[in-house]
Structure 1
Amino acid sequence: DLTEQSEGLLFVVPSHVARPVLRELVRSLSTPMPFISATKGVEEDTLNLMTQVMTDVLPLAMQRDLMVLSGPSFATEVSAGKPAALCLAGSNKELVKTFQAALMTPAFRVYADSDVLGVQLGGSLKNVMALAAGVVDGLDLGHNARAALITRGLAEMVRLGVAMGADPRTFYGLSGVGDLVLTCTGALSRNHTVGVRLGKGERLERIVGSMQAVAEGVRTAKAALGLARRHRVDMPIVQEINAVLFEGKSCRKAVTDLMERDAKPEKGQT
């Protein structure tokens, strides 16, 4: 029984197995307890975020105590005791405060938030942008191009988030731009690594087959495009990375098509 000596459960599994793992986990829970999701992904078939998957699977008594933990945090650095700051979001403010205090250490700072949707979207979509940033680096297009990609990628994340009901300010915090910058530039980023290898000409099947850990961005790319279409949001970077991943489009052609789009105002809707 997992609940006998536990105050809460931190749920960290790849998004594509979250639903079956939750179903098995529920059998080991005799009493309701808070759940904290640290999974950064979107369920590909349903386009559900992890708290939506949890709502589908968990008993009603547990659904009101769901929280999400997200932000710039390579696991190897956290486990080594290096400083990190993350965001804990939930609708129950008192519960969030309780677990915020429980998770805080001299090297692990936690900020509270209530935008569960926005925090999850930031943590998921940044993986897709990291693939694209990796492609830019794999093609050796330079720092200017990478900075432009990250900035315009953030704009796409904000547009989708607002269309889905998230607070746009969330994307300028730790779970948004913080995680985006880390994942698009850090050498430990699996998603960035996949993008680099794509940019250097490797095939996706070979790249994925050679990796021991999951690169969530590959699956999330499809889901992100599905969400963009569902909510009628223009996400050209997401569209082009999908074309590279699943339609055989060359990385250079994708970059060219992005650069040759019609002129637009920076603060416009597309």
Structure 2
Amino acid sequence: MAVNSVTVLGAGSWGTTFAKVLADAGRDVTMWARRPEVAAEIRDEHTNTAYLPGVRLPARLTATADAAEALAGAEAVVLAVPSQSLRANLTGWRELLPREAILVSLAKGVELGTLKRMSQVISEIAGVNADEVVVVSGPNLAREIAQEQPAAAVLACADHDRAVAIQQASFNSYFRPYTNTDVVGCELGGACKNVIALSCGMAAGLGFGANTMATLITRGLAETARLGGKLGADPLTFAGLAGVGDLVATCASPLSRNRTFGERVGRGETVAQAQAAAGGQVAEGVMSCVSIRELARGVGVDMPLTDAMYRVCHEGVDPARVGAELLGRQQKHEWS
């Protein structure tokens, strides 16, 4: 299952970065960009200044705004669009997907309404077995990886051979991918960490320090693991790159859109003001807290931080108030 020709659908910061990773690993990469001018810049100038200013892209990476052209002959197709728009985008691309191509998901989230994970959405729309979809997760802040700072990731797929094929296609001098067969755990870790990062940002905006941050990260990981355990995930996954690794990076870094969004709200901005300040880039946790909260309630899992972020983002409750309520919850054993 050697992969030499890859198509990346989506030209945002993470999609462009992962395309660079693949090209630097020796693959021939074609990107699809929604806007023709972005595709032209990537193809002709080898830059994507809207999302990765100052980053030079490899010569063997090209781009087009024509999805059919981008997908022709692809041995692997990387889906690099936001989680809540994945279904609509993939529906438009479905008939163009090469039959034997390995499908790879970069999206982190739980779909609103259906409460499906991204691999399940891809399986449904593309008409493939969910076990055949490779999920990318881990501490993957796009700008740092684009600058070739050392990083690792997890490639999760129940079909281990497919994960290995993408592992070999993306391994290079600065990017080290590991494989995992626990798709459920990796996807839940990737979705829930965005919500927890909102809470860490709000805490920072309120002026709280390292103790508060560590508490939120740890308790956020605990509620993520509770949900994962209920849905059949391997508990060890949450101790790895797709769990604590992704959570620490997203909660601690100013490069994290979710943390930055939360920090603005913590400083007193409204959700609408924080959204506008993000310049059009999506803070996935804002919508994920809705779907994750519904998913948790449906299986009887208590997720107080997720519920708090829902109340701030969708009910307008003051972050300081929900913080006080979290501290005032009934005392209990740490692992109950």
Provide TM-score, normalisation by structure 1: 0.95
Q: What SS does the aligned partner of 1:73 have?
A: coil
Matching of residue 178 in structure 1 with residue 245 in structure 2: yes
1:226 aligns with 2:294: yes
The residue that corresponds to 1:87 in the other structure is 154
Aligned-partner residue type, residue 109 of structure 2:
G
Using CA pairs under 8 Å that are at least 6 residues apart, name the structure with larger relative contact order, 1 or 2: 1
Q: What is the correspondence of 1:34-49 to structure 2 with a 5 Å cutoff? A: 34-49=102-117
- Preserved contact between residue 33 and residue 65 of structure 1 (Cα < 8 Å): no
Moved over 6 A (4+): none
| In structure 2, distance between residues paired with 1:31 and 1:129 | 38
Q: Distance in 2 between matches of 1:136 and 1:110?
A: 32
Q: Is the contact between residue 197 and residue 207 of structure 1 (CA under 8 Å) also seen in structure 2?
A: yes
- Deviations for 1:8-52, whole angstroms, at most 9, x for unmatched residues? 011110111100111111122242311010101111121111111
2:228 — aligned with what? Answer: 161
Aligned residue number for residue 85 of structure 2:
17
SS at match of 2:250: helix
Note the C-alpha offset of 1:70.
0.7
Quickly say closer, same or farther: Cα 1:264–1:66, change in 2 above 3 A.
Answer: same
Structure 1 stretches lacking a partner, 5+ long: none
Asked if residue 249 in structure 1 is aligned to residue 317 in structure 2, the reply is yes
Give the alignment partner of residue 197 of structure 2, picking from 130, 141, 148. 130
Identity percentage over the alignment? 40
Note if contact 2:105-2:135 (Cα within 8 Å) is conserved in structure 1: yes
Aligned to 1:141, which of 208, 214, 217?
208
Count of residue pairs the alignment pairs up? 267
Amino acid at match of 2:150: P
Contact in 2 for aligned 1:11/1:36 (Cα 8 Å): yes
Shift of 1:63: 4.7
Deviation of 1:206 after TM superposition, in Å, equals 1.3
Q: Given that residues 3 and 31 in structure 1 are in contact (C-alpha distance below 8 angstroms), is that contact kept between their aligned partners in structure 2?
A: no
Contact 2:123–2:130 (CA<8 Å) still a contact in 1?
yes
Compute the RMSD of aligned alpha carbons.
Answer: 1.3
Q: TM-score, normalised by structure 2?
A: 0.77
1:42 is paired with a residue whose SS is coil
Gaps of 5+ in 2: 1-67
Separation (CA, whole Å) in 2 of partners of 1:95 and 1:208? 37
Contact 1:139–1:200 (CA under 8 A) maintained in structure 2: yes
CA distance in 2, matches of 1:11, 1:30: 14
Counterpart check, 1:189 vs 2:295: no
**What displacement does 1:104 show?**
0.5
Where 1:10 maps in the other structure, the secondary structure is strand
